[in-house]
Amino acid sequence: MTPSDWVEHGEGIEGSQDIWVAIVGPGTPPRGDLAPAPPVHQSDVAATILKAFGLDARDFNPRAGPPIEAAFESGAPGAR
């Protein structure tokens, strides 16, 4: 595969269903790579960013995903 092949995330591209996220900053534990880890969805990433700012994603969207709790000091490793 070359960069020119990667024009969109289609079903025919191996690994296109996966995303990764790095969470670094005050109040985030140095956990390193948590793979393998429970599944995380894009809506969980958005909720995690909002939680880092002290906001609740459900205030914006009642169907929002949960924050990734392992991103915070109180979260257990591998927790969602």
What tokens were used for 15? 């690994």
Nearest one of 62, 23, 68 to 47, comparing CA atoms: 68
What pLDDT is recorded for position 1?
63
Q: What was the pLDDT predicted at 78?
A: 46
Give me the residue spans of the domains in the chain: 28-74
Model pLDDT for residues 13-71, shown as the tens digit of each residue: 777 777 778 888 887 888 888 777 788 888 899 999 999 899 999 999 999 999 998 88
Residues with Cβ within 8 Å of 1's Cβ and at least 6 positions away in sequence, in order, are: 13
The per-residue pLDDT for 17 is 74
Alpha-carbon span 39 to 22, nearest angstrom: 15
In which residue are the tokens 């956990």 written? Answer: 31
**Band (2; pLDDT cuts 50, 70, 90):** confident
pLDDT of the residue at 74: 73
- Cα–Cα distances (Å) from 56 to 4, 19, 64, in that order, read 39, 22, 9
